[in-house]
Amino acid sequence: MGECEPRGEGESVSEVELAYQVGQTVEVTVADVAQGGWCVARLEGLPVIFVRHALPGERVVARVTEVTSRFARADATEVLEASADRVEPPCPQAHPGGCGGCDWQHASLPAQRALKGAVIAQQLRRVAGLDLDREITVEPLPGDEPAESGLGWRTRVQFAVRPDGLAGLRAHRSHEVIDIGDCPIAHPAIRDLGLLDYSWEGAGTVEAAAGSTEPADLFRAAPPDDPAQPDDPAQPDHSAQPGHPAIPVHQDRVVILTKAGRAPRGRRAPGSAPGRGAARDERGRDARVRSDDRAVEPFPQEAVDSVEAEAVLIRSAHRLTPVRGRQYLTQFAAGRHWQVNAGGFWQVHPAAADTLSEAVVAALEPKPGDTALDLYAGAGLFAGVLAPLVGADGSVTAVESDAAAVRDARANLDVYPWVRVHRNDVALAVADPGLPQARLVVADPPRAGLAREVVDYLTGGSGAERFAYVSCDPATLARDLGLLIAGGWRVDRLRAFDAFPMTHHVECVVTLSR
Q: Which residues are catalytic?
A: 472
The SS3 call for residue 443 is strand
Binding residues for ligand SAM, per CB under 6 A? 345-347, 376-379, 381-382, 399-402, 405, 425-427, 444, 446, 451
Choose between 19 and 361: whose C-beta lies nearer to ligand SAM.
Answer: 361
Smallest gap from Cβ 213 to ligand SAM, in A, equals 17
304 vs 430, beta carbon nearer ligand SAM: 430
Report in angstroms how near the CB of residue 502 gets to ligand SAM at its nearest: 20
- What is the nearest approach in angstroms of ligand SAM to the Cβ of residue 499? 11
CB count, 10 Å around CB of 490?
A: 10
d(CA 246, CA 219): 9
Q: Which is nearer to ligand SAM, 103 or 402 (CB)?
A: 402
Which residue's CB is nearer to ligand SAM, number 110 or number 446? 446
Q: Which of 464, 458, 475, 468 is nearest to 510 (CA)?
A: 468
Nearest to 237 by CA among 253, 255, 222: 222
Nearest approach, Cβ of residue 279 and ligand SAM (Å): 44
Phi-psi region of 37 (alpha: psi -120 to 50; beta: other; left: phi over 0): left
**Cβ within 8 Å of residue 375, ≥6 positions away:** 399, 426, 429, 430, 441, 442, 443, 444, 445, 454
Backbone angles phi, psi at 499, to 5 degrees: -85, -5
Query: In angstroms, what is the minimal distance from the CB of 309 to ligand SAM?
Result: 22
Task: Find the residue with minimal CB distance to ligand SAM.
Answer: 378
In the bound state with ligand SAM, the residue whose beta carbon lies nearer, of 307 and 451, is 451
Q: How far is the CB of 217 from ligand SAM (least distance, A)?
A: 19
Least distance (Å) between residue 48 CB and ligand SAM: 32
Sign of CA dihedral 189, 158, 469, 34: positive
CA-to-CA dists, residue 37 to 32, 155, 268, angstroms: 11, 22, 33
* Residue 44 Cα distances to 77, 266, 357, 422, angstroms: 21, 53, 47, 56
C-beta of 1 vs 428, nearer to ligand SAM: 428
DSSP 195: G
What DSSP line would sit under 36-97, residue for residue?
TTEEEEE-TTS-EEEEES--TT-EEEEEEEEE-SS-EEEEEEEEEE--TTB---SSTT-STT
In the 3-class helix/strand/coil scheme, how is 213-229 assigned residue by residue? CCCHHHHCCCCCCCCCC
Query: Whose Cβ is closer to ligand SAM: residue 49's or residue 329's?
Result: 329
- Rounded to an integer, what distance in angstroms lies between the CA atom of residue 119 and that of residue 33? 7
